[in-house]
Structure 1
Amino acid sequence: MMETSWFTQSDGQAVFLRKWIDPHTKPRAVLQLAHGMAEHSGRYKELATYLAANGIIVYANDHRGHGQTGERMGIMGFFAEANGFERAVSDLYEISEKIKQDHPNLPFFILGHSMGSFLVRRLIQHQPHICNGVILSGTSASKGLIGKLGLMLAKFEIRRLGARAESPLMNQLSFGQYQKGLPTSESWLSRDQQAVNAYFNDPHCGFISTTQFYYDLLYGLDKIHQRAEMTKVNRSVPILLISGSADPVGSFSKGVDKVRKSYLSHGVVSVDLHLYQDGRHEMFFETNRQQVFENLLTWLNEKI
């Protein structure tokens, strides 16, 4: 069963929140899910329903500038006028506090996909004792110099177009390379053409984000990889990485393995990697997603 509500953040912004709970199953844990860029929390109905049926309550909000939250704001692909990435991270934290108030005796996990994984990685730097386990899907290693150049270009685009303007240039530079050799512009997301079509036809998916959003995203991607920030992560909290070997965001497994090694090198005791052969970016929407769901549940059961 899915419930919906609006959660008012500390700065007054209302954020759309979904909750999945099975009334016939005793809850054993709760999981907060952070969706990716240019999508929304409702897409995760199949995963959330599966987890809820197995005793895992799932909460997921539409980030600022996304889904129902973006509609209420009147702008898509935009976090905030300033410090947008950190504001989106704070949103997750404030929601997590409410979740834990409602379920004080249940183990608490956080899952982030793609952009959501970057937000979660920043959250566990700010709040190292926030959860009992972290799941990062479709995440990426540091972009290094290319990321620095991207930040400079985003600043230029803000000056050229304005902070709230869409940036087709940044969109093309970010995603254009992912589409090479594939049948459609969104095929890099999944081998399941039905899932790709559903994304393409969803009015809350695939939009072009603003110049300010790209700056905020690149800022966040740079920040989470800084050595001083990596040392803030709780070394005893288990981390699970989920990726497809054909995911360009994870540099076709090389990038996500760099993330795994980075956490290990900073002393995190338990870092697992579920790497799926030929899987693309969205493993929760892949042709073998049932296997992905089951493996995730097994991991959660081991940590509860």
Structure 2
Amino acid sequence: MQTLEGYFVSFGAEKIFYRGWRPAKAKAVLQVTHGFGEHSGRYEGLAQYLGSLGYAVYAQDLRGHGRSTGQRGHIESWLDYWYDLTLFRSQLEALEPRLPIFLYGHSMGSLVVLDYLVKQPPDLRGAIVSGVLLEPGQPAQPLLVAIARLLSRFWPQAPLRLNLDINALSRDSATVQAYRSDPLVHNRVSARWGTEVLQTIETVKAQVKSIRDPLLILHGEADAINRVEGARWLFREASTTDKELRVYPGSFHEPHNDLNKGQVLQDIAEWLERHL
């Protein structure tokens, strides 16, 4: 397996770090967009598994995350993330010009991907969304939301802490401990980030009927961070007729890192195979 690392320049002159895992002979590309506070390196397990089956996996660190530049957890507009995803896809089309590209987004990354899908992107083979951010659970504290809305108008860069319950990520204690000790993980957001997330959820819900690409939805039924009702709503409302929902009983926020990850990875691989 070949591993690659690099940077590209995105909107606002931010340097976006990416990494890739590529088998000797790849049949398709999976472009990964991570969740809030994390980074591309946390998807190595997914990449190694899919790489063994012939898929090239590439993941970026969104601005303000991981090894990319930018204030931690801050965006001026949700379009910042849209540019990061769009430009990264252009990079991958140049790197892998003959391979179909699938998108994969987890948690906040799922919202980035869904926002991209409602804009009807061309020539996309399909998308996978996990831990769908449409019905926030723990982080959506009313007081924090009110403060973010107020500060976003007058001090958009104002730093806030999103008190994510790390123990709600996975039932696997090793995954939780690795997250806790990871120096590239953070829990900082800005006031503007908070209001942009809420607005983008509303936008995706209003435009969900425009999603016509093949769609696989993965969600842990016991997810306390993003409630499973959001995934079920997305499955009902998306216009595409090629859609599948996998809800994993007992699983927490990161199905791909939970105790049942073997089944989750197999479901992903089988869905990709059917859509080549």
Instruction: State the TM-score, normalized to the length of structure 1.
Output: 0.83
Structure 1 distance, partners of 2:34, 2:234, is 19
**Which one of the candidate residues 172, 180, 188 is aligned to 2:168?**
188
For structure 2, which runs of at least 5 residues remain unmatched after alignment? none
**Which one of the candidate residues 230, 236, 243 is aligned to 1:255?**
230
Aligned to 1:230: 208
SS in 1 for 2:26: coil
SS in 2 for 1:164: coil
Contact 1:110 1:120 in 2 (8 A): yes
> What is the CA distance between 1:248 and its match in structure 2?
2.1
Contact 1:150 1:218 in 2 (8 A): no
SS in 2 for 1:246: coil
Closer, same or farther in 2 for the Cα pair 1:262/1:154, shift >3 Å? same
> What is the CA distance between 1:215 and its match in structure 2?
1.8
Contact 2:33 2:110 in 1 (8 A): yes
> What is the CA distance between 1:151 and its match in structure 2?
5.9
Aligned to 2:201: 221
**Identity among equivalent pairs (%):** 29
Closer, same or farther in 2 for the Cα pair 1:149/1:20, shift >3 Å? same
Aligned to 1:3: 4
Contact 1:38 1:205 in 2 (8 A): yes
Contact 1:128 1:232 in 2 (8 A): no
Q: Which runs of structure 2 are paired with 1:70-85 in the superposition (5 Å)?
A: 72-73=69-70, 75-79=71-75, 82-83=76-77, 85=78
**Which one of the candidate residues 179, 188, 196 is aligned to 1:199?**
179
Structure 2 distance, partners of 1:155, 1:276, is 34
Higher relative helix content: 1
* Aligned amino acid, residue 73 of structure 2: G
> What is the CA distance between 1:10 and its match in structure 2?
4.5
Q: Deviations over 1:177-234 (max 9, x none)?
A: xxxxxxxx311110001100111111222422121221222222221111xx22332x
* Aligned amino acid, residue 232 of structure 1: S
> What is the CA distance between 1:102 and its match in structure 2?
2.3
Contact 1:157 1:167 in 2 (8 A): no
Contact 1:117 1:136 in 2 (8 A): yes
Structure 2 distance, partners of 1:148, 1:119, is 23
Structure 2 distance, partners of 1:208, 1:101, is 34
1:112 paired with 2:105, answer yes
Contact 1:3 1:19 in 2 (8 A): yes
* Aligned amino acid, residue 176 of structure 2: V
**Which one of the candidate residues 240, 251, 256 is aligned to 1:279?**
251
* Aligned amino acid, residue 155 of structure 1: R
Aligned to 1:182: none
Aligned to 1:179: none
**Which one of the candidate residues 263, 272, 275 is aligned to 1:300?**
272
* Aligned amino acid, residue 102 of structure 1: L
Closer, same or farther in 2 for the Cα pair 1:221/1:130, shift >3 Å? farther
Higher relative strand content: 2
SS in 2 for 1:104: coil
Aligned to 1:180: none
Structure 2 distance, partners of 1:147, 1:232, is 30
Instruction: State the TM-score, normalized to the length of structure 2.
Output: 0.91
> What is the CA distance between 1:272 and its match in structure 2?
0.3
Structure 1 distance, partners of 2:63, 2:257, is 23
Aligned to 1:15: 16
* Aligned amino acid, residue 274 of structure 2: E
> What is the CA distance between 1:147 and its match in structure 2?
9.9
Size of the aligned set, in residue pairs, is 272
* Aligned amino acid, residue 5 of structure 1: G
SS in 1 for 2:178: helix
* Aligned amino acid, residue 209 of structure 1: V
1:156 paired with 2:173, answer no
Closer, same or farther in 2 for the Cα pair 1:147/1:257, shift >3 Å? farther
> What is the CA distance between 1:255 and its match in structure 2?
2.5
Aligned to 2:222: 246
SS in 1 for 2:44: helix
Contact 1:200 1:206 in 2 (8 A): no
> What is the CA distance between 1:273 and its match in structure 2?
0.8
Aligned to 1:181: none
How large is the RMSD of aligned CA atoms in angstroms? 2.1
